[in-house]
Each structure stands twice: as C-alpha cells, then as structure tokens.
Amino acid sequence: MRGPHNIWRLIRTGATLERTGAMGVVLDAFEAPRALRILAHGLGKPFMWLGYKGDPAMPPATRALTALGPAYIKFGQVLSTRPDVVGGDLAQQLRVLQDKLPPFSRDVAKAEVERELGRPVEEIFSEFSEPIAAASIAQVHRARLAETGQDVAVKVLRPGIERAFRRDIDAFYFAARIVDLFAPGARRLRPMEVITHFDGVVRGELDLRLESSAASEFAANTGEDAGFRLPAILWNYSARRVMTLDWADGMPLGDNDAIDAAGLDRAELAERVLQLFLKHALRDGFFHADMHQGNLKVATDGDIIAYDFGIMGHIDEYTRRVYAEILYGFIQRDYKRVAEVHFEAGYVPADRDVEEFARALRAVGEPIFGMDATHISMGRLLSYLFEVTERFGMETRTELILLQRTMVVVEGVSRSLDPQINIWQAARPVVEDYIKQSIGPRAVLSDLFKTARVLSRFGPRLPGLVESALIAQTHDGDQRPKSNRGAILGAGFLGLVLGAAAATVAVLLLV
C-alpha cells in the first residue's frame, strides 16, 4: 500500500500548501525551476478543498506544516537549520515554528512508562502529573520518585509516533524521487540528500536512549564550567521511549522581569551564554544546537540550566582549529590570514586567487566592523562569509551551517538579555584562549605526543608486518624486481627506528 498511500499523502500535502498560501513561499525559497512549479501547483490546486486550513494567524509556511502534523513540523524545524537549502528568509520563519501540539492523556503516558520500564507506575513514582509540555515527538510530565522523593521530569514519546514518522518519511522520499524524475533542473537542490539528512535526525530523536547519551556526554564535557549545569539523567528510569532526568527549577531565560526581580545581572548572563556556547563548540566540539530561551533556565543562584538534547552539533578537532583561526583572523582584521586558512584547509579550490579572495573577505568584514559595537553580529558575519566562499567554489559544510545557525540563536538570546552587548568583546577571550591551547607551541607538543603514542603502539607490530610482506613476496614466485625487497627491508628498518624514537619521545613527554 505504500504507493497509493504516498500519492494520497502528497495530494493532501500539496492541497494544504496551496490552501494556506505556502506553496509559492516554498517554491520561491528553493528557487524551484518552472517545471517543478507547474507540477507542484498542478498537484495542489485541483484538490485544494482537501487541504487542511491551519491557523490563519500563522505565516503561510508554519501554518501549513503545523496543520499537516508532527512529521511536517519536525521537517520544518530541521530545515530551519539549513539556510543553505531553503534560503535565509524561509529558515528564519521556520526557526520560530511553534512545536506545540495537543497532549495525549496521562493514562496513556503511564501505560507507555509501564511498558518501557517493566514496572507499575505507582511503584516507580509516588506522583505523576498531567503533561506540562507537549511537542511533535514527545511530552513531559513532572513526577516524584517513590523511593527517594526526588522530583524528576519524565519525557515520553507519543504513542505510534515511530510508525507515523515512518509513513510520512516514506512519502517524503517518494516526493524527492518525483522531483528527480520530472524536474531535472531541481536536482541541484539535492532533494534526496535533504530527506536523508532529515531521516537521520528523526531516527535519533525517536530513541530517547540516544538523547540520554548525548545529555550524559554533554554533562561530562561541561562539568567544570562555572555557572552552567544540566539536569542529570536517571538511567535506571530511562529506556527507548522514556527518559527521566532531574527536575530543573529556574526562571525562563527569556523572562527579563523575573530575572531582574531575582537581582541577577542580565549583562553578565548575556555574556556567559555566548561564551559558554563558544567554549562548548571550540573546546569540546560538541554543543547544544538548539539554545533558544525555551531550552534555557536560570536558577536563583544565577546558574544557567540547559535541557532538551535532541539536537546536538559535532565538529571535529581539525575543523574547530580552522573555525577558530577564521574567527581570530576577523577579530584581528587580518583578511589575508583568513583567506590563507581557507586555502590551507582545502575549503576553497587551490586554482582560485588567494589575494582576490582576501579582498572579498575584506568587503565582508569592514562594513561589519564599521558598525557600532553593539550591532556587530558574529552570526551575520558567518552568513556573509558563506556567501563569499560559495562564490569562490567552497562546498557546503553541514556542520558549519548548523554552527552558524546556533550562533545566530545564541546571539539573539544574549541580546534579549542585554541589547548593548558587544559580541566581539565577549567572544574574544574564549577564541584567544582556544588559539593558545590548540594552535600555539603547546598544541604542537600535544600533537607530537599523540603521534608518538600512536607510533609506539604500532612499533612491536612492525617486524611482523615486514616479515609478512617478505613471505608474501616469496610466494609470488619472485616475480617482483629485487629492488622491491630492498625497499621493503628499508621501510621495515625505518619503521623500527621510528617506533623506537616514538616510544622514546612518548616517555620523555610523559616525564
């Protein structure tokens, strides 16, 4: 039944997009070719009466996605992290997509908890509240552990949500194949790649064990960060469809009146939010990629509390160093160095002119630095930077797009707390500290130590590898030139020397 279901779902989708006025918005955002526009409108208009009406108070795109249900809401959220795909304007609209749906009943939630944890809810929790928040994939209840009296938050997946998402994602793949087949000009939009990315994100969020793991790793990385804490995961009360964690008491970070009434310094909070994000991204390479006010609280003692770890960003160590050098180069207004970093990292093709690229970067940086300090935006800088690098042939890097999107959100949070914040001044100490730790002489010694440690592990295996190579050559019937034997023996001897040297260096560095 997949084929008929997919066709019906796409007709209903097209009808809803047409009825809410979102069809034109979406096609414009994707710069869809004429053939795709004709196909889309042809699918939507005749069946417009079948479409969902949605909430007329919402913008067209968010109105349509909200009306179509959880999978479409989540799809909009994921696309909001990909302005490279949907464009900046639509990404901005989708960023404020309200992920609020009617909750399912407490009795159903309790049944899900019992099924997952294998015990009656009354044995586990002495109290279990009505839902306090409901989203597209799960809802949250406040509860109290029967054994300890500890207040906890219990997140429960919606019943049947996996099957519902699987059905709609199947329809998304079907639509992407239709686009590839009937609108070859739209292939540059990479529809199959977009749906595959969405599929991977959703699969991770439909298994709460993975979110619990992300929260645990994040907590381990940030345990020493002053003024920042996370609710602890209670693994004994968590499973694939249920996640239990400490209850986090605090004021919403967006409630300035409550923060002022508590006597907290909003300017200091604004700076700390920004610096914490940069520390996590640069120092750890693992950051909360959905740091809006709804996922942040501030305790009465001033600690910032983060929760909801469904969307996390990861950047490898090499990319972090490149990103830090780029930021530092802009802070120093050294556009030649920023250009060289792009070429050294292979982000820009080697056949392009580095001097011309540096001038293009200056055109990006100087207008921003000419602004009043309180209006300088790192997110805007990165957005302009990606536009320039795209013109010079740089391929899109998803992890940097997610970083840039999160940077924009974090800046918004900081400015809502302190409109006068100087973003560069707040960011500079974090970036400079990372540069010293990861790019200076100390970093060179650290890299040498890591290299030596790896080589020392392989040292004992080198004689065996050389012997195996010689035996294999003998079994080949001496068909190879004899000079190869000398090369193999020479490589083996060199390997032994390197292994011994590496071991020596490792010992010295450890001492």
For 437-460, the pLDDT digits (tens) are 776 666 666 666 666 666 666 667
Q: How confident is the model at residue 496 (pLDDT cuts 50, 70, 90)?
A: very low
pLDDT at 150 over 90: yes
d(CA 395, CA 399): 12
Q: Write out the two tokens for 29.
A: 């955002």
CA count, 13 A, side-chain hemisphere, 153: 19
d(CA 151, CA 252): 19
What pLDDT score does 182 carry? 59
Q: Residues 259, 393: one domain? A: yes
Q: Residues 255, 228: one domain? A: no
Q: Residues 265, 402: one domain? A: yes
What pLDDT score does 261 carry? 93
Q: Collect all residues with Cβ–Cβ distance below 8 Å to 39 and sequence separation of at least 6.
A: 178, 182, 183
**Whole domain around residue 190: which residue ranges?**
2-98+162-204
What pLDDT score does 123 carry? 94
- Alpha helix locations (H) across 208-353? 208-222, 256-261, 266-279, 317-332, 335-344
Q: Write out the two tokens for 94.
A: 């989708």
What pLDDT score does 456 carry? 66
CA count, 13 A, side-chain hemisphere, 81: 22
Q: How confident is the model at residue 120 (pLDDT cuts 50, 70, 90)?
A: very high
Contact 70, 163 (CB under 8 A): no
d(CA 144, CA 364): 54
pLDDT at 360 over 50: yes
Of residues 4 and 121, more confidently modeled? 121
Domain count, the chain: 4
Q: Residues 332, 199: one domain? A: no
Based on the residue annotation, tell me whether 290 is a catalytic residue of this protein: yes
Q: Which residues pair with 252 in a beta bridge?
A: 297
Q: Residues 484, 417: one domain? A: no
Q: Name the residue among 242, 198, 257 with its Cα closest to residue 71.
A: 198
pLDDT at 510 over 60: no
Q: Residues 174, 300: one domain? A: no
User: Among 204, 233, 263, which residue terminates a domain?
Assistant: 204
Question: CA of 352: how far to CAs of 356, 380, 381, in Å?
Answer: 8, 25, 22
Q: What is the mean pLDDT of residues 33-62?
A: 75
Q: Write out the two tokens for 65.
A: 């996605």
Q: How confident is the model at residue 431 (pLDDT cuts 50, 70, 90)?
A: confident
Least confidently predicted of 21-30, 276-285, 408-417:
21-30
Q: Name the residue among 312, 305, 304 with its Cα closest to residue 280.
A: 312
Q: Write out the two tokens for 293.
A: 């006010």
User: Among 411, 439, 467, which residue terminates a domain?
Assistant: 439
Q: Name the residue among 202, 170, 137 with its Cα closest to residue 10.
A: 170
Query: Residue 135 sits in a domain of what CATH number?
Result: 3.30.200.20
What pLDDT score does 95 carry? 64
Q: Collect all residues with Cβ–Cβ distance below 8 Å to 32 and sequence separation of at least 6.
A: 40, 183, 186, 189
pTM of the model: 0.72
Q: Residues 462, 380: one domain? A: no
Q: Which residue has the tokens 């219990």?
A: 154
Q: Residues 224, 197: one domain? A: no
Check 84, 168, 225, 290 and give the catalytic one.
290
- Alpha helix locations (H) across 333-397? 335-344, 354-369, 378-391
What pLDDT score does 502 carry? 47
Of residues 371 and 138, more confidently modeled? 138
Q: Residues 315, 384: one domain? A: yes
